[in-house]
Every structure is written in structure tokens, then in C-alpha cells.
């Protein structure tokens, strides 16, 4: 079955770059996603990448995809305290469901 | 615009009692609907998803069930709650298109005592 894994915790200083990593097992994944969850709330889509791309940039966010190694990363440039949240990687291989990773808690200290 | 409503926000229930969590979506038709559970350290676990009225897929064996009596209504139920059912439950929907942008409710914090 599908499996998506992430490290549980990342701590950075304000102004540094953050890199959150994700690995997945489903070789038929068509889209990969990054979602953000702020405390006590649901998830919101940050960005996504199609599986035939290897990079996507959106303002401070850069997504890198290594399809051979089934590795996805999210880089946040100039990390701010407001970026503190849980970040979830997700993949879909059909129109019918998303499979989420375990989430990475990002803590940004001043 | 589309909105998703999930209630209640918090719930404390005794072991062995029944459960009913409700989720409704407005502003769209024929959405895919999902129930997730988020437990500490275990991330987001897909419990059920539905691509249409009366169509429910269960992802994991458990003490819970789901129903979709109307196009935009999704209900999570249990006949007898267990302590292990405690967690944060999230309802979500998407348009069932190739890019699955899911929209989440605010969640229900369930504590079984």
C-alpha cells in the first residue's frame, strides 16, 4: 500500500532556511502536495507538484522532487515565526484520495 | 464560495457511549468527502472516503463507521466508543479532479473517558 514518511520535528532560527523532507512508496503517484496545519485548525494546501516535474518555486517556497528516489522536499526561505506549524506531505495516484505523511512540526525561534 | 462545517468542536464521551460527528459542505456538488483522525505522533490517518451518496470506502478496520445520506453530508459514527477512539477528527472535501486540493474543517477533539 501507499506509505508517506516524514521526520517529526525541525527547529530553525528566524531568517534561516527550513528544509522539510518526505519519502513515499507509491511509484504511481501523479501529484505530490505540501499542506500546513496551524495549531487547533484543519490543514491548508500550500503547494503541489506534478510528478513529471523536478522543481517548483512559489515565492519563499521551493519544492524539489526526486522521483527516482521517491523523495520530496519543501524549502522555506527566510523562515518567519509565523511559519511555525505542522507541515504534511501528501500524494495522490488516483482522483479518489490523498495519502498524508505523519507531519513535521516546524518550530521557528526568534 | 465553498465552506465546510464540522461539529462539535470538542466532545467528551464515556466509554461505551455512541458517537455521531457531522460534516456538511456548502457551495459545491458531488464532492469527494473524507474523515481523518490525527493522533499525537501518528500524523493524519485516513479513516473513510466517499466519492458519492451511499459510497463509502474504509481504509482501516476499526470501531467506527461512516455514512453519506446526502451529497454534501458525511457522518462519522460509533455504537460503542473505546478509549482508543480519542483523537482529533478532521472532515475534508475535494472536487475529485486530477489535482486533489482538499479543504478541511476545523476538526473535532474527541476525548473518551
Q: What is the pLDDT of residues A80-102, one digit of tens each?
A: 999 999 999 998 876 567 888 88
Which range of B42-51, B81-90, B93-102 scores highest in mean pLDDT? It is B81-90
pLDDT of residue B62: 79
Strands (E), chain B: 3-7, 10-13, 19-26, 32-39, 43-52, 55-58, 65-70, 73-78, 87-94, 103-104, 108-112
Average pLDDT over residues A6-26: 94
Number of A/B CB contacts below 8 angstroms equals 68
pLDDT of residue B42: 67
Distances (CA, A) of B53 to A89, B10, B46, B49, B75: 29, 27, 19, 11, 12
Instruction: Name the residue among B101, B8, B73, B83 with its Cα closest to residue B39.
Output: B83
Task: Indicate whether B13 pLDDT > 80.
Answer: yes
pLDDT of residue B112: 95
User: Which residues from chain A sit within 8 angstroms of residue B51, using beta carbons?
Assistant: 96
Which range of A3-12, A28-37, A58-67, B42-51 scores highest in mean pLDDT? It is A58-67
Q: Which of B23, B38, B39 should we substitute to test contact with A (largest number of A Cβ atoms within 10 Å)?
A: B38
pLDDT of residue A96: 65
Out of A31, A43, A102, the one facing B42 most closely (by C-beta) is A102
The whole-chain average pLDDT of chain B stands at: 90
| % pLDDT > 90, chain B | 71
Amino acid at each position: 500500500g501507499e506509505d508517506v514518511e516524514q521526520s517529526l520535528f525541525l527547529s530553525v532560527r528566524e531568517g534561516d532556511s527550513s528544509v522539510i523532507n518526505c519519502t513515499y512508496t507509491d511509484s504511481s503517484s501523479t501529484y505530490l502536495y505540501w499542506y500546513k496545519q496551524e495549531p487547533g485548525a484543519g490543514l491548508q494546501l500550500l503547494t503541489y507538484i506534478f510528478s513529471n516535474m523536478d522543481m517548483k518555486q512559489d515565492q519563499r517556497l521551493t519544492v524539489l522532487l526526486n522521483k527516482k528516489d521517491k523523495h520530496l522536499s519543501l524549502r522555506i526561505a527566510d523562515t518567519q515565526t509565523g511559519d511555525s506549524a505542522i507541515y504534511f506531505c501528501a500524494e495522490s495516484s488516483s482522483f479518489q484520495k490523498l495519502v498524508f505523511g505523519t507531519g513535521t512540526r516546524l518550530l521557528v525561534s526568534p | 464560495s465553498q465552506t465546510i462545517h464540522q461539529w462539535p468542536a470538542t466532545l467528551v464521551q464515556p466509554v461505551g457511549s455512541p458517537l455521531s460527528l457531522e460534516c456538511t459542505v456548502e457551495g459545491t456538488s458531488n464532492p469527494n468527502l473524507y474523515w481523518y483522525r490525527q493522533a499525537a505522533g501518528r500524523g493524519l490517518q485516513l479513516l473513510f472516503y466517499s466519492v458519492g451518496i451511499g459510497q463509502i470506502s474504509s481504509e482501516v478496520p476499526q470501531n467506527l463507521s461512516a455514512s453519506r445520506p446526502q451529497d454534501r453530508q458525511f457522518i462519522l459514527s460509533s455504537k460503542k466508543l473505546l478509549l482508543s477512539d480519542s483523537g482529533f477528527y478532521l472532515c475534508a472535501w475535494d472536487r475529485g479532479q486530477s489535482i486533489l486540493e482538499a479543504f478541511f474543517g476545523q476538526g473535532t477533539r474527541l476525548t473518551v473517558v
